[in-house]
Structure 1
Amino acid sequence: MKLLIIISGLLAFVSSKPCDTDGSNHELLMSLNKNLLRSLDGQEGLPNPSIHLALRLSNYHSLVKEADYLNKLKNELHNDIQNSLTSSQPVTGILALYSLALKSSCYDLNTITFTVGDKSEMLLTQLKTQMEQEKEHIAFSHRPLTNYYQYSLGVLALCVSSIRVNHHVIHKLIKAADDSHFRHGETESIDTYAMAGMALQCVKDSGFYVHNPAELDTALSKIKQKLLASRRADGHMGNEFSTGLAVQALLAMGSDVADCSASMEAMRTAARSNVYHNPMAISQTLPALQKKSYLTVKSKQCLNEDNSLVLEPTEPPVVVPSDTKVNVMVEVVTSSGATALYSVDVPKGSSLLEALDVLKTKSVGFTFELESSLWGPFLSTVNGEQARQSDRRYWHLSSDGTALTEGVNDFKIEAAQKITIKNTSY
């Protein structure tokens, strides 16, 4: 299982006034909420705990649909995690998200168990075991078994459930933040800084890290600096799809209006332009726009919840293929540096996945295979060569030299361009 799955003085992150939104954006928030709810019906693959978490953190609910989705998580996702544990695959990130989703519904986590070998353990006990394995892997290889994003999720999930986290586990995350180890390929991972910020803020609030509180404050200050320094001229932090988590982290760390108002507006602008059409993207953006963060789960009580969210009937969109064809050059760069170049004409507006499917049917020697993730399908094998997470490799996608921020099913071909698919290490 994969999971796509990623600041000046010591007290700068503790401010008196939180990030804010104004009432004029109510309709936008309702639209995003309804789009996320609609995504449950047409969803392919396993249920997504991030979607459930966002729905539960929202101010408005459809409690019956949320309860139905919770049952899907407890059955389909639970069984998939169990299968991964049975085959000794690391599941830190998805297990952490699963526990956060359950807790957001005020579900008793002590009733959820997994069996490894002949031993049955509660979910949070299994998560602690996963975190110990991650910590040991850092000790001898200087990196987690999975990655620091999943590692941060694990710390956060344990912390919001009031489970005392091993101070050695926390120290590894603090040191990684101090040493700027939150990277994906050649770039810093703003998603990871954000998730680490929420995790360490939870640890600080809980008083779990008495070992060296000063170094915890220093790490939080550095994380905040990294997030603010990543802000672009248009207000987004990192890119359009990392801004939601970045704002969540700033909210969790108590940032004032000046720290995130521009980023809030950037997300609203992107939402109005339908940039967040991927349910996973909405699930990370909606909590931030409602002034919530994943830390909110810790105090959630599930009492007197609004149950007024009703989905109006909608006609399925009619997609008319464009008569305009655009040329796409596809360059494949293997791990050895060998390159192959292909050309294909596709209707304007096609997804990159559709373009690759057309190219594959042309029998020119181009082949690919997909794997699923919470963000949708991603390339796992191209022309017979794998780029596996277990080998810390992935297929990096770029258009005319600019890295894509969307996956193969979300990126649209609107003009002639050169797509480069490169086997890359991280």
Structure 2
Amino acid sequence: MLSLVIIVGLLAFAFGKPCATEGSNREFHLSLNKNLLRSLETQEGLPNPSVHLALRLSDNHNPPKESEHLNRLKNLLHNDIQSSLSNSQSVVGLLALYTLALKSSCYDLNTVTFTVSEKSETLLTHLKKQMDDEKDNIAFSHRPLTNYYQYSLGVLALCVSGIRVNNHVSNKLIKAVEMEHFKHGDESTDTNAMAGMALQCVKDAGSHVQNAAELDAALSQIKQKLLASRRDDGHIGNEFSTGLAVQALIAMGSRVAECAASMEAMRTDARSNTYNNPMALSQILPALQHKSYLSIKSKECLNEDDTLVVEPIDPVVDSGSKSTVTVLVEVVASSGAAAVYSVDVPKGDSLLEALEILKGKNVGFTFEKESSLWGNFLSAVNGEQARQSDRRYWHLSSDGTALIQGVNDFKIEAVQKITIKNTSY
């Protein structure tokens, strides 16, 4: 008996502290649930359908606040999508997330309409039309109007809503997996994860596809890609793709244990406040609770509890003046021409705040930003735009390492060189 105790002790020493008990993990997940609910009170811009999804998939609820957020989605977000549709913009990803958010609240999707050119049609009709446009663009130029992440979201939203997905639409996604048309690097992990959930839903629904064997092969390939993206620290892809990756593995039938390395990695990051962005938190919370977006399909919204209470937080006390660090900001235009600026920034400020300070110095640096569900992103720098319609974006890196956080979330903690490069994809 003593020898067994010694062996267990040695194993614990060799592999680090043992996984927390299920009860303590449940308490921690509840605290994350409260943080996500609390974010509704401080959110800027449009209400976030991904946050609503995560709140609705949770075991604990605050019906009044969730209902209030649902109403904001049906008004503010709805009107924004209406404007985009009226201007013939491709918003399939946002339209799909809106659909999933409403579905997660068991809302009757047939009562939700948009009016374009004086013709009123249901949300699902518009989503199907946008998916057809995306499909046609793939046939014409071998890529969607938006990207395969949004295309996968569209397939998933239609399928979860009980709509039979056009086999030509699903087949385009299957072929994209087969031909490895997703972007390389960490961002492909997100796309693989969303495509996996979408195609698993298609398979579970028994929808007709052109080749069932190809569908199975695509799902197998996606699973292999996700598993091959695992890092030594437990993350799959990177810190911000692990949540969706775990959701996809769960949806595709993989058993993800409570103490799996990926689960522990997300909990470790959450404890260190890595997921302070509500969008990021909304993607890991379902995974930590062993759920995925496919869980929405069977959600009934019956006998839900009312136990999620958010306690007030003590106000943060300003500790006074901060020390400053020097940051070099390099801007690389699409032509390859580069300009370098220097700015002193209070330690702990966000990259966005640093750029605002630099802009205020009137040294020739200017920028414009736009909002997204992930927060602000750069749309124009020094008068040059990098637009999705042109398949370009401003790539951010620090000392040569690509940033995985946006301008709102990345904090300046030390002297460094930030490179902002107009990049194609």
**TM-score, normalised by the number of residues in structure 1:** 0.93
Alpha-carbon distance in 1 for matches of 2:259, 2:93: 27
Partner of 2:146: 146
Partner of 1:90: 90
Partner of 1:113: 113
Q: CA deviation at 1:256?
A: 2.0
Q: Which runs of 4+ in 1 moved over 6 A?
A: none
Q: CA deviation at 1:259?
A: 11
Q: CA deviation at 1:319?
A: 4.0
Deviations 1:29-88 (A, max 9, x none): 111111111111111111010000100000100000000000000000000000000000
Partner of 2:50: 50
Aligned letter for 1:143? Answer: R
Q: CA deviation at 1:91?
A: 1.1
Partner of 2:264: 265
Alpha-carbon distance in 2 for matches of 1:392, 1:383: 19
Percent identity over the alignment is: 76
Alpha-carbon distance in 2 for matches of 1:318, 1:158: 47
Partner of 2:9: none
Aligned letter for 2:53? Answer: L
Q: CA deviation at 1:397?
A: 0.3
Partner of 2:342: 343
2:36 touches 2:281 (CA, 8 Å); kept in 1? yes
Alpha-carbon distance in 2 for matches of 1:381, 1:231: 35
Aligned counterparts, 1:343-382, within 5 A: 343-382=342-381
Deviations 1:369-400 (A, max 9, x none): 00000000000000000000110110000000
Alpha-carbon distance in 2 for matches of 1:385, 1:149: 26
2:170 touches 2:209 (CA, 8 Å); kept in 1? no
2:329 touches 2:342 (CA, 8 Å); kept in 1? yes
Aligned counterparts, 1:211-226, within 5 A: 211-226=210-225
1:322 touches 1:349 (CA, 8 Å); kept in 2? no
Partner of 1:101: 101
1:227 to 1:283, Cα distance in 2 relative to 1, 3 A: same
Partner of 1:384: 383
Aligned counterparts, 1:14-413, within 5 A: 22-183=22-183, 189-257=188-256, 261-320=260-319, 322-413=321-412
Alpha-carbon distance in 2 for matches of 1:348, 1:295: 42
Alpha-carbon distance in 1 for matches of 2:258, 2:159: 26
**TM-score, normalised by the number of residues in structure 2:** 0.93
1:198 to 1:46, Cα distance in 2 relative to 1, 3 A: same
Alpha-carbon distance in 2 for matches of 1:54, 1:234: 25
Alpha-carbon distance in 1 for matches of 2:303, 2:85: 37
Where 1:318 maps in the other structure, the secondary structure is coil
Q: CA deviation at 1:21?
A: 8.6
1:191 touches 1:245 (CA, 8 Å); kept in 2? yes
2:187 touches 2:241 (CA, 8 Å); kept in 1? no
Aligned letter for 1:166? Answer: N
| Unmatched 5+ stretches in structure 1 | 1-19
Alpha-carbon distance in 2 for matches of 1:250, 1:189: 15
Alpha-carbon distance in 2 for matches of 1:187, 1:27: 30
Alpha-carbon distance in 2 for matches of 1:349, 1:209: 53
1:342 to 1:210, Cα distance in 2 relative to 1, 3 A: closer
Alpha-carbon distance in 2 for matches of 1:320, 1:122: 53
Partner of 1:10: none
RCO (CA 8 Å, sep 6+): is it higher in 1 or 2? 1
2:227 touches 2:236 (CA, 8 Å); kept in 1? yes
1:160 to 1:340, Cα distance in 2 relative to 1, 3 A: same
Where 1:40 maps in the other structure, the secondary structure is helix
Alpha-carbon distance in 2 for matches of 1:412, 1:222: 36
Deviations 1:132-165 (A, max 9, x none): 0000000111100110000000000000111001
Alpha-carbon distance in 2 for matches of 1:320, 1:180: 51
Greater C-alpha radius of gyration = 2
Alpha-carbon distance in 1 for matches of 2:194, 2:297: 15
Alpha-carbon distance in 1 for matches of 2:318, 2:238: 28
- Corresponding residue pairs, total: 406
1:321 to 1:283, Cα distance in 2 relative to 1, 3 A: farther
Alpha-carbon distance in 2 for matches of 1:362, 1:210: 58
2:327 touches 2:345 (CA, 8 Å); kept in 1? yes
Aligned letter for 2:377? Answer: F
Q: CA deviation at 1:198?
A: 0.1
| CA RMSD after TM alignment | 1.5
Alpha-carbon distance in 2 for matches of 1:302, 1:171: 33
Partner of 1:13: none
